[in-house]
Amino acid sequence: MSRHVPLHGIIGYTITPFQEDGRVDLGTLQLLTDRMAGSGVHAIAPLGSTGSLPYLDDGEREAVIEATMKAVRGRVPVLAGVSSLTTERTLHHARFAERAGAAAVMVIPMSYWKLTEEEIFRHFDRIASALSIPIMAYNNPATGGLDMTPEFLARLLQIPNVTMVKESTGDVGRMHRLRQVAGEDVAFYNGSNPLALAAFAAGARGWCTAAPALIPELNLRLYREVVQKGDLAAARKVFQQQLPLLQFIVKGGLPRTIAAGLELRGTRVGPLRAPLLPLPETEREALRRILEKLEV
């Protein structure tokens, strides 16, 4: 297999909506996915942190993948989240996503017990050897509980179909370091919303973000200004414009804040799964003001 890198640009993460009775709401999921796929984003990513992946059971994950593929209808590539605590379950979901037509899968090593680098390497190697689509190795110690250094990520990238890295530590120095140790052609993506401009300046291929559920045009405009036009002054302007929303969704938690934003915009997406609670009323009000300002 060659170093296949099927993703670039704005990669939009979808939330998983629920019905009032707690079941996954596949109808609304398809509605939201269809809307995002039509908004101009370059890829769609179900079952990320935004999609409440770890709170879903096996059957629900499979149903979300299938519903997503149907809603996307091949317009853009699909990047499917498949992470589980055990290697066996991760492998199971990766294979399911491959069969369903995903362009790539995203894998974050998850901790209860802290994993050694050897354990993480074998986890990826085992999953990669059973797939023919590429893997994006996802580093986010704040959620997954494990930190992978640029040096270790470069080692993971030696596994044939681990071809992409998503960096979410919020430290742009990691991205420059990754280029240093993995080569300047390394395909890395930014997963830290407040770092979007800095990451593109550092050479990121794409931005993995939940924000397109609310502001796809602003996200796309940043990409165009900095990557396509190379106009830093314009890029800074459009970045600072969307920064309050980016900061808000990061601080309040992605599923919670995106759900609140969608409801403020008129789409019912139901409760989060317990123990997760909805956005408190005062924060909802703050979000309403941020969104209004962006619409002017």
The single residue among 180, 185, 285, 292 that binds its own copies, judged by CB under 8 A, is 180
Are 45 and 78 contacting, i.e. CB atoms less than 8 angstroms apart? yes
User: Closest distance between its own copies and the C-beta of residue 193, in Å?
Assistant: 10
**Residue 88 touches its own copies, criterion: CB under 8 A:** yes
Cβ(140)–Cβ(108) below 8 Å = yes
| 138 among known catalytic residues | yes
- Packed helices 117-128 and 87-100: angle between N→C axes, nearest 10 degrees: 30
Element (H, E) at 209: strand 206-209
Among 5, 63, 201, 218, binds its own copies (CB under 8 A): 201
Helices marked H in 38-166 — which ranges? 58-72, 87-100, 117-128, 141-144, 150-156
Contact 77, 103 (CB under 8 A): yes
Among 64, 78, 102, 120, binds its own copies (CB under 8 A): 120
| Per CB under 8 A, 267 contacts its own copies | no
Catalytic residue among 13, 70, 166, 237: 166
For residue 189, indicate whether it is catalytic.
Answer: no
Rounded CA-CA distance 188/131 in Å is 20
Closest distance to its own copies from the beta carbon of 265 (Å): 22
Least separation in angstroms between residue 218's CB and its own copies is 15
Active-site residue (options: 13, 138, 189, 223)? 138
Is 240 in contact with 222 (CB distance < 8 Å)?
no
The position carrying tokens 């599923």 is 255
Q: Which residues contact its own copies (rule: CB under 8 A)?
A: 22, 49, 53-55, 85-88, 109-116, 118-120, 122-123, 126, 143-145, 170-173, 176-177, 179-180, 184, 194-195, 197-198, 201-203, 226, 230-233, 235-236, 239-240, 243-244, 247, 253, 255-256, 273-277
